[in-house]
Amino acid sequence: MPVISASHEFDVSDLFVNLQPLFGHRLFLKVEGFNFAGSIKLKAAREMIAQAEAAGVLGPGSTLVESSSGNMGVALAVLAASRGFRFLCVTDSRCNAVTRRTMESLGAEVHVITEPHETEGFLGARIRHVKALLADDDKRVWLNQYLSPGNWMAHYRTTAPAVARQFPDLNVLFVGAGTTGTLMGCARYFRERRPSVRVVAVDSVGSVTFGGPPATRHIPGLGTSVRPPLLDASLVDAVVHVPEAATVRTCRRLMRHGYSFGGSTGTAVTGALRWLTEHYGDGAGGVRERVTAVTISPDLGERYMETIYHDEWVRDAFGPDGLSDDTGTEAFPAGFAAGLGALTN
């Protein structure tokens, strides 16, 4: 049992859940929510702060400023409380109330954007607000998770190697795409060290990250209304887009088996299952049993009790479709993915 002296020092990084008994495919879920920030974003937050301090950008008297839909904001609030920084988070009205209250309880100041930018959505409006805050006070420091190399380096150094160590026979890794920090760190690692591993990005329907048409999205975490500057699409072998109603159904099925995960996990698992079914079918045996796949769970489910696990919210957002008992592995509609190809091993 570790003994720590600061909250950011604790992070469980070696827990995987075998999803084969639930869904049939040999799919393993890397669980990243067991730390005091409650999500994988703690890794990137630590790395970005370390780089800013090393560069002399962040120091005594500085105020951290960041745009976040939730998890990065909480991670930075935890680090700010632990390290003695001030922190101001710019989020929007889709951010869960529990997440906002968590940041405020940790001492952060939270600004909530209620109106999206006319062409760049809530993300564009948040970034404009951040820039206005920086112009108003030169002691404010924007780490900029959408551009900072620390965002992807954290996962190149930690997340991807942990997957590689646990699964030397890995064939395909599914990674949800938000800022694309986790995706790019993992993709660069496996491209350099294990190029036979295919890296598949999982995105939400309505996200513009990979060139899809913009549409209303209700669940924070994955997806963007502005293409992330970190993204290098040449490192990604395929992209799967998942409707949010399917995300909700998968989260709820996992919950019925005792696993409480957040919305990004539901999206990543749904995309992985659909991709695997598309390539290897839904029957047992054969090549499917020889394929080893991993996907990543960014956070746990307690911050989503008033949204994806609340019947009234789901009904209002998605209608009865979101409350169905479907497994989330039904066939994709036409055009569900780009760049697909069968595994060769």
Question: Is residue 171 over pLDDT 70?
Answer: yes
CB 79 within 8 A of CB 68: no
Residues, the chain: 345
Final residue in a domain of this structure, among 142, 169, 193: 142
Based on the fold, state whether residues 294 and 194 are members of the same structural domain: yes
Q: What is the mean pLDDT of residues 222-230?
A: 90
Based on the fold, state whether residues 187 and 102 are members of the same structural domain: no
Based on the fold, state whether residues 250 and 127 are members of the same structural domain: no
We report the CATH number of the domain holding residue 170 as 3.40.50.1100
Question: Is residue 70 over pLDDT 70?
Answer: yes
Based on the fold, state whether residues 133 and 29 are members of the same structural domain: no
Residue 57 belongs to what domain range? 41-142
- Which pLDDT does position 344 carry in this prediction? 31
Based on the fold, state whether residues 233 and 98 are members of the same structural domain: no
- Which pLDDT does position 253 carry in this prediction? 96
Instruction: Indicate whether 114 belongs to any domain.
Output: yes
Based on the fold, state whether residues 169 and 134 are members of the same structural domain: no
Final residue in a domain of this structure, among 142, 168, 183: 142
Question: Is residue 289 over pLDDT 70?
Answer: no
Based on the fold, state whether residues 75 and 223 are members of the same structural domain: no
Cα–Cα distance for residue pair 32/29, rounded to 1 Å = 9
- Which pLDDT does position 60 carry in this prediction? 84
Based on the fold, state whether residues 272 and 125 are members of the same structural domain: no
Based on the fold, state whether residues 200 and 91 are members of the same structural domain: no
Based on the fold, state whether residues 117 and 232 are members of the same structural domain: no
- Structural domain count of the chain: 2
Instruction: Indicate whether 1 belongs to any domain.
Output: no
* CA-to-CA separations, 337 to 126, 239, 240, 295, 301, in angstroms, rounded: 29, 5, 5, 17, 27
Based on the fold, state whether residues 168 and 238 are members of the same structural domain: yes
The rounded percent of the chain whose pLDDT value lies above 90 is 74
Q: What is the mean pLDDT of residues 197-214?
A: 95
Tokens of 155: 């996962």
Cα–Cα distance for residue pair 265/28, rounded to 1 Å = 12
Q: What is the mean pLDDT of residues 275-295?
A: 79
Based on the fold, state whether residues 244 and 295 are members of the same structural domain: yes
Final residue in a domain of this structure, among 120, 142, 164: 142
Instruction: Indicate whether 150 belongs to any domain.
Output: no
User: The whole model's pTM is what?
Assistant: 0.90
Instruction: Indicate whether 345 belongs to any domain.
Output: no
Q: What is the mean pLDDT of the chain?
A: 90
Instruction: Indicate whether 179 belongs to any domain.
Output: yes
Question: Is residue 28 over pLDDT 80?
Answer: yes
* CA-to-CA separations, 159 to 12, 173, 268, 286, in angstroms, rounded: 11, 12, 16, 30
